[in-house]
Amino acid sequence: MYVDHDGIVYVADSYNHRIVKWMPGASSGELVASSQQLQIEKNQLEYVASFVVAKNGTMFVCDRPNRQVRRWIPDANEGEAFIFNISCSGIFLTENGFLYVAGDEKVIRWPGNEVVAGGNGAGPGLNQFSGTSRIFVDQNEVVYVADAGNHRVVRWPHGAKEGILVAKGVVGGFSLHTPIGVVVDQMGSTYVLEYGTSRITRWLKDDPYNGIVIIVDKPTTNNPVPLA
């Protein structure tokens, strides 16, 4: 799912092999692109959980099984491969048009294909990741990464050689577990969706060890939808 600045909601409707958008207050959705138009196999659309939409309607989709980012321009007959050779797990588009892509234990920025976070192999070091998931980029180009395999969230200021711990502590008797989504508000508080505990937690700026539970789902809930 993706929500743009105008409140338009875009949803990867994997069961019907399409991406639809919902205008604010609408009672029904509108087709944006089918899996055929995106040139993604129907049985692989379920993996399209991370995508962004530019102000002009251009869509960038993580096609993880085929190790690429695909671009779809409105009214085009089909999508096209845009960024190659990355197992894309998260994607973020900034106001100034930079596209950030997470995958293969790193985050790259396009244009330029610059590694802005990680890129030092898998591991527990603050200059490494172990299973990157979703990302968030603030107005200062600080990259926040849900480092799922290391059960933490880290932030990388622009030009940094290693990350700074944002979330890693114990909340409500349970440790932060497999974060798969991250969003940061204007006050610098970080909101984390955890796959392992099916909850959303909030972490205040510069306090990575004392989070607050905001929402918790039933223990039987499977596959929560990422925040970003």
State pLDDT tens for residues 193-216: 998 888 999 999 989 998 899 988
* Confidence grade of residue 221 (pLDDT, cut at 50, 70, 90): very low
The domain in which residue 115 lies consists of: 2-165
Give the amino acid at 109.
R
| pLDDT for the residue numbered 42 | 52
Residue 106, SS3 per DSSP = strand
Tell me, yes or no, whether 12 lies in a domain.
yes
Tell me, yes or no, whether 161 lies in a domain.
yes
Tell me, yes or no, whether 208 lies in a domain.
no
* pLDDT tens, position by position, 53-76: 998 889 898 888 888 898 988 887
The fraction of the chain above a pLDDT of 70, given in percent, is 85
Q: Quote the number of domains for the chain.
A: 1
Is-cis flag, bond preceding 157, omega within 30?
A: no
Tell me, yes or no, whether 99 lies in a domain.
yes
- In sequence order, which residues have a C-beta less than 8 Å from that of residue 15 and are 6 or more positions away? none
Strand ranges in 4-131 using DSSP code E only, listed in sequence order: 9-13, 18-22, 30-34, 51-53, 59-63, 68-72, 80-84, 88-93, 99-103, 106-110, 114-118
Q: Report the pLDDT averaged over residues 37-50.
A: 57
Tell me, yes or no, whether 227 lies in a domain.
no
CATH of the domain at 23: 2.120.10.30
Q: What pTM was estimated for this model as a whole?
A: 0.84
* Confidence grade of residue 40 (pLDDT, cut at 50, 70, 90): low
Dig out the tokens for 58 from the structure. 């251009």
Tell me, yes or no, whether 180 lies in a domain.
no
Q: Above 80 in pLDDT, residue 219?
A: no
* pLDDT tens, position by position, 115-159: 999 999 999 999 999 999 999 999 999 999 999 999 999 999 999
The long-range contacts involving 188-191, CB below 8 angstroms and separated by at least 24 positions, are 190/144, 190/153, 190/166, 191/227
Tell me, yes or no, whether 182 lies in a domain.
no
Give the amino acid at 141.
E
Tell me, yes or no, whether 199 lies in a domain.
no
Q: What is the mean pLDDT of the chain?
A: 85
Q: What is the distance between the alpha carbons of residues 112 and 164, in angstroms, rounded to a whole number?
A: 24
* pLDDT tens, position by position, 17-27: 677 888 888 88
Q: Report the pLDDT averaged over residues 90-100.
A: 94
- In sequence order, which residues have a C-beta less than 8 Å from that of residue 220 and are 6 or more positions away? none
Q: What is the distance between the alpha carbons of residues 7 and 130, in angstroms, rounded to a whole number?
A: 33
